[in-house]
Amino acid sequence: MRFPSDDELMDGPNAFEGFEDEDFEDAELIEDDPNEQRDPSDTDERDAGLIGADYDEKFRAGFIAIVGRPNVGKSTLTNALVGQKIAITSMRPETTRHAVRGVVQGEDYQLVLVDTPGYHRPRTLLGQRLNSEVRETLSSVDAILFCLPADQKVGPGDDFIARQLRGIKAPIIAVATKVDAVSDERVMKHLLDIDKLGDWEEIIPVSAIKGHQIDRLKQLLARRMPLSPPLYPRDMVTDESRDTMIAELIREAALEGVHEELPHSLAVQVEEIVERQKKPGQNYPAMLDIHVNLFVERDSQKAIIIGKGGSRLKHVGMRARRGIEEYLGRRVYLHLHVRTLKDWQKDPKMLGRLGF
């Protein structure tokens, strides 16, 4: 069995030598796929009792919201608790654009994590909608993790979120993230500052990257979940649709090494996924052709994404392809198209078509 090499894959529609400007002209938005994966909690299967048909009467399951300012390690913590990557991460703030559900499967518990967008003072309609999504999430969970990074001082943004959390009946565990990045003395001071912010059920320091106290955090959460059958199948780690995961992996690759403005202006949408025909005698899955639109707000941002001679877009495609192939378990061929969609963050119609 031999898969095509990187050079072979980039020699064709994925190559950008000699591309023309018209290759990247604006295009109409593609509506969301009506066949995308549904939430298992809304299916007839759960109503029929198939998900929790065989479970111990002491089994516990529930929903946990992960909240905090932008870029405090929420997505990294989510991935560490689940045990694999289901949320994209970036050094850029406000990377998470929607509530990502990850499922932590324990022997006698199931934790459904909702990694929310960073709570912040919004500057655009998109920012307002992200904050509204956080508030809706907080109203319907069994526990909350409030993340405060140890490598940053507790400040006005943290105080703002702490005030929003007051009055919520669900138990709130304050999590000091990124403790591996600072000294023990700095961690102790940080924990004291967190304690002054509010009345927390627990305060726990963790390092998601090194796995420090991740198991303990799982147990703390499990004890606070209600008695319940499993809410999701026991082999599921996320309820994200295939198209959403692919789009997020491409957005993560595109955000690597760019300046601060672009993350807020970039949206990614999968237009079409087509399976190629197998060749005679081929004994591995056929390659998938994935057509994707990357939307920015100005032509200057389009030039940043594409790079000189298409070099940067080629790098984005190669980096994203590795993550997508690991996620899908098969080879893919990415067709990336950069479009300008002026001020889409402020346009209600465009926000709706892009899924916000």
- Per residue in 7-65, pLDDT (tens digit) is 333 343 343 333 333 333 333 333 334 344 434 344 443 333 445 556 778 999 999 99
Question: Which residues are within 8 A (CB) of 209 and not within 5 positions of it... i.e. 6 or more apart?
Answer: 76, 80, 178, 180
Stretch among 37-51, 110-124, 181-195, 223-237 having the lowest mean pLDDT: 37-51
Region of residue 18 (left: phi > 0; alpha: psi -120 to 50; beta: else): left
355 compared with 195, residue with greater pLDDT:
195
Structural tokens at position 115: 């990694």
CA 62 to CA 126: how far, in whole Å? 29
Contact 244, 267 (CB under 8 A): no
CA 179 to CA 202: how far, in whole Å? 16
Handedness of CA 224, 228, 232, 234 (dihedral sign): positive
CA 217 to CA 173: how far, in whole Å? 9
Confidence category of residue 164, pLDDT binned at 50, 70, 90: confident
- Eight-state DSSP code of residue 227: B
Confidence category of residue 220, pLDDT binned at 50, 70, 90: very high
Contact 320, 307 (CB under 8 A): no
CA 327 to CA 134: how far, in whole Å? 27
Mean pLDDT across the chain: 78
6 pLDDT above the threshold of 50: no
Q: What is the pTM of this model?
A: 0.62
Average pLDDT, integer, range 153-182: 92
Stretch among 10-24, 77-91, 140-154 having the lowest mean pLDDT: 10-24
Question: Which residues are within 8 A (CB) of 352 and not within 5 positions of it... i.e. 6 or more apart?
Answer: none
Stretch among 49-58, 81-90, 289-298 having the lowest mean pLDDT: 49-58
Per-residue confidence (pLDDT) for residue 301, from 0 to 100: 86
Per-residue confidence (pLDDT) for residue 36, from 0 to 100: 43
Sheet with 100-105, side-by-side order of all strands: 100-105, 109-115, 60-67, 143-149, 172-177, 202-205
In the block, tokens 């998470």 appear at: 96
